[in-house]
Amino acid sequence: MTDDKDVLRDVWFGRIPTCFTLYQDEITEREAEPYYLLLPRVSYLTLVTDKVKKHFEKVMRQEDISEILFEYEGTPLKWHYPIGLLFDLLASSSALPWNITVHFKSFPEKDLLHCPSKDVIEAHFMSCVKEADALKHKSQVINEMQKKDHKQLWMGLQNDRFDQFWAINQKLMEYPAEENGFRYIPFRIYQTTTEWPFIRQLFRPVATDGQLHTLGDLLKEVCPSAVAPEDGEKKNQVMIHGIEPVLETALQWLREHLSHPDNFLHIRIIPQPAD
Amino acid sequence: MPSSELWAVDLFGRVFTLSTAGQQWELCRDAQLEFKRVSAAAPCCWGIACDNQVYVRVGASDVPIRCREEAYENQRWNPVGGFCEALLPSDRWPWSDVSGLQHRPLDGVALPSPHWEWESDWYVDENFGGEPTEKGGWTYAIDFPHTYTRDKKWNSCVRRRRWTRYRRYKSRDTWAKIPSEDDPQQLPDPFSDLSLGGWEITDEPVGHLSVWAVSLQGKVWYREDVSHSNPEGSSWSLVDTPGEAVQISCGPHDLLWVSLWEGQALVREGINRNNPKGSSWSVVEPPTSENGILHVSAGVGVVWAVTKDRKVWFRRGVNSHNPCGTSWIEMVGEMMMVNVGLNDQVWGIGWTDRALYFRHGVTQSELSGKTWKAIVAGRECDGSRAGSLSSLLSAGCFFGDEVRGGGESCVPSDSEAERPGPDPERDVEVAGPASAPAELPWTNIDLKEPKKGPSHAAADFPEATNLSSLALLPLGLEEPDSADCHALWAWVSGGGCAVEAHTTLKWFTAHSGLPASMQMLSLPITPAQTAAWRKQIFQQLTERTQRELENFRHYEQAVEQSVWVKTGALQWWCDWKPHKWVDVRVALEQFTGHDGVRDSILFIYYMVHEEKKYIHVFLNEVTALVPVLNEAKHSFAVYTPERTRQRWPVRLAAATEQDMSDWLALLNLCCCESRRVHGRPSPQAIWSVTCKGDIFVSEPSPDLEAPERWLPCDQMFWRQMGGHLRVVEANSRGVVWGIGYDHTAWVYTGGYGGGCFQGLASSTSNIYTQSDVKCVYIYENQRWNPVTGYTSRGLPTDRYMWSDATGLQECTKASTKPPSLQWAWVSDWFVDFSVPGGTDQEGWQYASDFPALYHGHKTMKDFVRRRCWTRKCKLVTSGPWLEVAPIALGDVSIIPEIPGAHGSGPGIALWAVSDKGDVLCRLGVCELNPAGSSWLHVGTDQPFASVSIGGCYQVWAVARDGSAFYRGSVSPSKPAGLGHRRQSPGEPKPEPGNCVSPHGCAAPGAHGAGLGLWHRGGLGSPVRPGQCHQGPQELVPGDGRQAERGAGPPQWALEGGRCPAGDPQSCLLLRPLPLTWSRCDAGFEGPRLMQAFLSRAVLVLNVLKRGSQEWYLQAQIRDWGGNLA
């Protein structure tokens, strides 16, 4: 019998093979070799691309170096989305490795947030965790933690230390035994087809009749367009961490096992690919 | 936590039970009878039916209730015919009881009631004091009465032998009528109330039960001789009361309260083990003089009462020493009745709504609880209620016949007249003693005058109470339809219902579901584990990893593995003298080795002479992390092979329990990681328990049994599992059973972690709450002096007057604490009468001096005496264990894997001995259902102590008297085999008391050459056999560690046996208590019995390296040849 704990490991150690190439218009002193890297799915681009940055800065002229940004097929990549989510949203049907273009010029101010340092990522990450706990436990758990616990969460993510991170994070995943789950499920639904960056709503893991909600229940409630009618053809692809859970999956279980380190369940919905 | 049941009677006289695990009331199906009142205890329920007869319902169980009848055949030798039945005129009867005073011919021994049946015919018991006799079971003596011996001597003039026969109680799970008295003079008038209690007065195995009843004339009756083995008791005896009783309540311990017509309560004083009926009454006045007491209910330390104005009262200050308590406290709520159940939990029936309430929040510290919470569990028969009502009202002849027919089967025909069917006559008779409202035959109460009933009942309230169901019936009929959603109750009894503080009950929300009895006794599998979606996610994740990683493994990782350091402040038990706790800083450094395996080092920084120094421990060398919880410190010990050899582990203590658990869990995780151990243990894992009850698992390496490379157990890595067990037993198909100190049987669920291992170190599912209870013993010592007799003033050279068993340590009642902070007292100190050697009425044992052999009666030569005081303590933890209710076990053995039988899927043979000595065989055990389905009782002619099953279904067992048995023809198709065959003389005969000296022995003829038996040595023979639960230091004499509680090397108890790693001489046992065997000679053929010890012997053998045992071990290892992998 496989244990649920293995899912956590699989999720944490998900990697996307990536090929970074420098944008053709960037001026270099010599030819820039592409750079190959395994990116952790659950981390953030700017957190794990120090090596990429160093690699390309070597060939750049000193005066041209400014804030690095990444782009895939013309779409600037938002560093504050988890890497796995970006991949699933934009490139899940393309061949591996994932080809990311590196830019040092023309920062798209309206599309991207600046990321001057890792503190900014930390602040973003922690605010996500806090928001998630507000939904789950009225912030009680996160507020009871010490500063060093918060730090350990962050350091766990930054250093890719599964056990360091989960030693603390499991406290965020607990809920009283007499209840069947969290107060609300922290989730975000991303669609490429809409204007809105993502959907978030209050949604309880357990229905009023005591039944556990499923992923399908959630989608029907907050994003009915994504769910195919009973008889209709499946038009959309619902993906979490690169896999497509069936709609019968219990939401609370998903929440506990397939959440990102920021404690959100990032659900991506894109139209079903033609093939 | 096993489920137990709450019993209740609704207004229609139907009896329902509600399981603590369930959400729905279950009707007692086979009851054609309607009941007025019931009173439940854990094993049975007594009730007064509407025919005014008393019935007992003994719950079904896999273990039968058996009772041995015996008779002695006596013969005298005369020169003409040798031994013959012709006795001298002054002699006893040729057939007599054991004393010889009573004539007892075999055919004159009758069954006590129709509820018993004979199990077999009479047979001669050829066993005498644990030893087989020569022929025909005769024992010889010079004359009657005398000491009998096995051997016939020249002066043996008389002989006798014992005939035995077992009878079995057959009326289980059905209402069995208590036979009426034959003598009309003795016949008590109809009973109006009845109460069970008293099962905690005496020691548990006795199974004593006090059954008290009140008759319509207000007399109080006591049922004699009710016990587990005699569920019906023998006769009613009258107990005089100063007033007319209305209602009675007996607590589990020694409380007995009676409410009187006049409104006062009577309290029985002087109830104790020797006198369960008590000695005298004292009167307790009601809380207010105008409203007398209507109803009382007693628990262990509480009494609740309802007065005539329906107010509920709680009696303050009630206990064994002061059964009357001190004062009344008024509680909220208006109740018709209240009932105190196990753990002093309280149920009540609301006055106005007849709903059932549970007193929420009753704990040992807050006995009065917090609020009344309505129990709204549904009833399985709600839908058919109207139907049953109409059939009841019509009371057709079919119904009547059926009842009468049913009665005949269990009632002798001569009592037919006393037991009329449910015809109108009987109804009048039933109603007779009551006044006005009862004149309406209860089955025919007019549906149209509901309002009149209750007012009437209220006016004549005292008269109405003893027929409460009757007087209250109109209420129930008032709105027949509304009763469907809201049951109306008449009576409740929680005497068999164990609710504890941490129990979560599902009674308070309406649910429709399967009744508890429909649920299988098997490991619960949560829907999440079986759901297809879960499987799919696992599969997709694997595919994803394959897709995204398989071809790109050569890519560089984005985040380099770095060293991670966790630091903290702990205390360290320093290595040099004077040993003391010193404050240290500790740092755990984790890094990734070249091969990708994480490794860790634990640094301990300390200051000596203001100089900073450190010691370090490589976690990949750690063999075990053992929590050492003593009275004050939360500490743990870190063992490495080197440290074990030095018998000096690294001991660290944390400030709080949480802190300790965090460190322990983290260090364990690091150890497991460096040894690449994670997830659940493999089926071949070796399980062990320490003397403290901690459970450890080790993964065997494939070459574990290779003779040239055996790994001593102190070099194997032992990983802790949550839970607390006394014995653990595993086979190589992953079936693991354990027995707690309280004899509870547990089955391994397949999880890991629990206890202090939370989060990552623990599996998500399959971890359950586990509790264990053990006893702490201290001794009260006294010396006789000519002036004052026995006093607690000893000689200056004497031991402490309050001491431990050895007398070396002072242990007073006040100063003795539970063994560690994990344990909490759950009882008060009480005298233990079950000590070996026997005691007198007050529990004293006498001897000529300390220390000496103690005996249970005073003689002229005795100058000292002692008695044992016991106190129970309880621990609540969690682990991958589920209770196998309800039978408590003393020993368990699982068949070892037969090589080549993998996957063939026959059930796994599992044998056990219950704590009462019954031999049991578990049916339906397999990998998927390790708990099995039910017990098959294997009849024996005496209580057993231990059982062991080896490969090829060879079952060996030891009886309590020390005789050894082999059971033939056990096979998968015949799991219980054919019969225990007693071994021939010449095999080892452990003396009663289970302490034998180590010796080899001749092979018993029964099983071919070479199946030698071998008994454990008298390893520091436990101070009190059967009760050696007091930790390692008492058990390993001369160990020098008395002062150093638990600081020594881990005391491995292999499958319950103790095997101190550093002390090979003292581990000649495979299992400690009771005795079991292994083999001793090197010449045996085949690995048969060996396999029984496959998983455990490895360990035993490997530590037994020294001395004369070496040859023996190697012989065994050779025989094994890699069965393990």
pLDDT in tens, B682-704: 887 888 887 788 888 888 776 65
Mean pLDDT lowest among A219-223, B640-644, B1016-1020: B1016-1020
Q: Which pLDDT band, with edges at 50, 70 and 90, does B1014 fall under?
A: very low
Instruction: Output the six-digit token pair for A152.
Output: 């350990």
B734 vs A contacts (CB less than 8 Å): none
**Are B559 and A17 an interchain contact pair (Cβ–Cβ within 8 Å)?**
no
**Are A2 and B528 an interchain contact pair (Cβ–Cβ within 8 Å)?**
no
Task: For residue A32, count other CB atoms closer than 10 A to its CB.
Answer: 19
Mean pLDDT lowest among A61-65, B442-446, B715-719, B743-747: B442-446
Averaged pLDDT for residues B183-197? 78
Interface of B with A (CB under 8 A): 504, 509, 511, 527-529, 531-534, 536-538, 540-545, 547-549, 551-552, 555-559, 561-562, 564, 666, 669, 673, 679-680, 750, 758-760, 763-765
pLDDT of residue B404: 37
pTM, two decimals, is: 0.69
Whole-number percent of chain B with pLDDT over 70: 69
Q: Are B571 and B652 spatial neighbours (Cβ–Cβ below 8 Å)?
A: yes
| Best B506, B508, B541, B599 residue to mutate vs chain A (most A CBs within 10 Å) | B541
Min Cα–Cα distance to chain B from A149, Å: 12
Q: Are A79 and A121 spatial neighbours (Cβ–Cβ below 8 Å)?
A: yes
pLDDT of residue B896: 73
- B918-950 tens-digit pLDDT: 888 888 888 888 888 888 888 777 788 888 777
Q: Are B107 and B117 spatial neighbours (Cβ–Cβ below 8 Å)?
A: no
Averaged pLDDT for residues B1012-1041? 25
pLDDT of residue B1106: 26
**CA pair distance B92, B102, nearest whole angstrom:** 8
| Best A9, A16, A38 residue to mutate vs chain B (most B CBs within 10 Å) | A38
- B510-560 tens-digit pLDDT: 554 444 333 333 334 444 555 677 888 888 888 888 888 888 878 877 777
Using CA atoms, how far residue B568 sits from B588, B613, B655, in Å, is 9, 16, 11
| CB neighbour list of residue B1086: distance below 8 Å, 6 or more residues apart | B1119
Q: Which pLDDT band, with edges at 50, 70 and 90, does B254 fall under?
A: confident
B680 vs A contacts (CB less than 8 Å): 1, 3
- Could you give the 3-state DSSP secondary structure of residue B949? strand
**Are B564 and A161 an interchain contact pair (Cβ–Cβ within 8 Å)?**
yes
Q: Which pLDDT band, with edges at 50, 70 and 90, does B267 fall under?
A: very high
| CB neighbour list of residue B1033: distance below 8 Å, 6 or more residues apart | B1039, B1041, B1042, B1044, B1045, B1046
**CA pair distance B763, B751, nearest whole angstrom:** 5
Instruction: Output the six-digit token pair for A47.
Output: 């957190």
DSSP state, B481? T
Q: Are B35 and B13 spatial neighbours (Cβ–Cβ below 8 Å)?
A: yes
pLDDT of residue B314: 92
Q: How far is CA A222 from its chain centroid? A: 20
Is residue B1006 scored above 50 in pLDDT?
no
Of A5, A16, A248, Cβ closest to residue B548: A16
**CA pair distance B344, B368, nearest whole angstrom:** 9
Strand partners, B802: B780
pLDDT of residue A178: 61
Task: For residue B313, count other CB atoms closer than 10 A to its CB.
Answer: 22
**Are B533 and A38 an interchain contact pair (Cβ–Cβ within 8 Å)?**
no
Instruction: Output the six-digit token pair for B113.
Output: 């009631």
Using CA atoms, how far residue B20 sits from A119, A217, B510, B1067, in Å, is 53, 33, 14, 43
User: In this structure, what is the dihedral angle of CA atoms B251, B368, B247, B407, given to the nearest 10 degrees?
Assistant: -60
Q: Which residue of A has its CA nearest to B669?
A: A163
**CA pair distance B1125, B705, nearest whole angstrom:** 9
In residues, how long is chain A? 275
B1046: left (phi over 0), alpha (psi -120 to 50) or beta: left
More reliable by pLDDT, B764 or B877: B877
Q: Which pLDDT band, with edges at 50, 70 and 90, does B312 fall under?
A: very high
Going edge to edge, which strands form the sheet with B265-269? B245-250, B256-260, B265-269, B280-284
**CA pair distance B466, B192, nearest whole angstrom:** 5
Strand partners, B846: B855, B865
Q: Which pLDDT band, with edges at 50, 70 and 90, does B121 fall under?
A: confident
Averaged pLDDT for residues B980-986? 46
Using CA atoms, how far residue A189 sits from A31, A88, A184, in Å, is 41, 12, 15
Of A3, A248, A258, Cβ closest to residue B679: A3
- B577-614 tens-digit pLDDT: 788 888 899 988 887 655 556 778 888 888 888 888 88
Using CA atoms, how far residue A68 sits from A19, A49, A65, in Å, is 16, 10, 8
| Best B764, B927, B928, B929 residue to mutate vs chain A (most A CBs within 10 Å) | B764
Q: Which pLDDT band, with edges at 50, 70 and 90, does B214 fall under?
A: very high
Whole-number percent of chain B with pLDDT over 90: 7
pLDDT of residue A118: 84
pLDDT of residue A76: 84
Averaged pLDDT for residues B157-166? 87
**CA pair distance B191, B467, nearest whole angstrom:** 10
Min Cα–Cα distance to chain A from B547, Å: 9
- B130-142 tens-digit pLDDT: 666 767 788 888 8
| Best B677, B760, B763, B766 residue to mutate vs chain A (most A CBs within 10 Å) | B760
Mean pLDDT lowest among B60-69, B381-390, B1087-1096: B1087-1096
DSSP state, B316? E
| CB neighbour list of residue B482: distance below 8 Å, 6 or more residues apart | none
Judge residue A255's burial from the number of C-beta atoms within 10 Å of its C-beta, 0-12 exposed, 13-18 middle, 19 or more buried: buried
Q: Which pLDDT band, with edges at 50, 70 and 90, does B297 fall under?
A: very high
| CB neighbour list of residue B1001: distance below 8 Å, 6 or more residues apart | B986, B987, B988, B1012, B1013, B1014, B1015, B1080
pLDDT of residue B380: 63
Q: Which pLDDT band, with edges at 50, 70 and 90, does B747 fall under?
A: very high
Q: Which residue of B has its CA nearest to A177?
A: B504
B558 vs A contacts (CB less than 8 Å): 37-40, 43, 48-49, 51, 160
**CA pair distance B58, B40, nearest whole angstrom:** 10
**Are B763 and A5 an interchain contact pair (Cβ–Cβ within 8 Å)?**
yes
pLDDT of residue B516: 39
- B855-883 tens-digit pLDDT: 888 888 888 888 899 899 999 888 999 98
**Placement of tokens 């292994």 in the chain:** B1078
Task: For residue B624, count other CB atoms closer than 10 A to its CB.
Answer: 29
| Best B523, B530, B537 residue to mutate vs chain A (most A CBs within 10 Å) | B537
- Could you give the 3-state DSSP secondary structure of residue A120? helix
Q: Which pLDDT band, with edges at 50, 70 and 90, does B405 fall under?
A: very low
- A189-222 tens-digit pLDDT: 888 766 666 777 777 777 777 677 888 888 888 7
Q: Which pLDDT band, with edges at 50, 70 and 90, does B258 fall under?
A: very high
- Could you give the 3-state DSSP secondary structure of residue B24? strand
**CA pair distance B1094, B1087, nearest whole angstrom:** 9
pLDDT of residue B1069: 28
- Could you give the 3-state DSSP secondary structure of residue A153? helix
Q: Which residue of A has its CA nearest to B563?
A: A159
Min Cα–Cα distance to chain A from B618, Å: 19
pLDDT of residue B712: 65
More reliable by pLDDT, B152 or B282: B282
pLDDT of residue B305: 93
pLDDT of residue B696: 87
**Are A170 and B760 an interchain contact pair (Cβ–Cβ within 8 Å)?**
yes
Q: Please give the mean pLDDT across all residues of chain A.
A: 81
Q: Which of B927, B976, B930, B969 is nearest to B952 (CA)?
A: B969
**Placement of tokens 């009494």 in the chain:** B303
Instruction: Output the six-digit token pair for B388.
Output: 């049953």
**Are A97 and B538 an interchain contact pair (Cβ–Cβ within 8 Å)?**
no
Is residue B498 scored above 60 in pLDDT?
yes
Task: For residue B554, count other CB atoms closer than 10 A to its CB.
Answer: 8
**CA pair distance B532, A253, nearest whole angstrom:** 13
Using CA atoms, how far residue B487 sits from B6, B15, B377, in Å, is 15, 12, 9
In residues, how long is chain B? 1125
- B427-441 tens-digit pLDDT: 434 333 333 333 333
Q: Please give the mean pLDDT across all residues of chain B.
A: 71
**N-to-C CA span, chain A:** 34
Q: Are B811 and B778 spatial neighbours (Cβ–Cβ below 8 Å)?
A: yes
- B334-383 tens-digit pLDDT: 899 999 988 889 999 998 888 889 988 888 888 888 888 888 877 765 44
Instruction: Output the six-digit token pair for A7.
Output: 């899912």
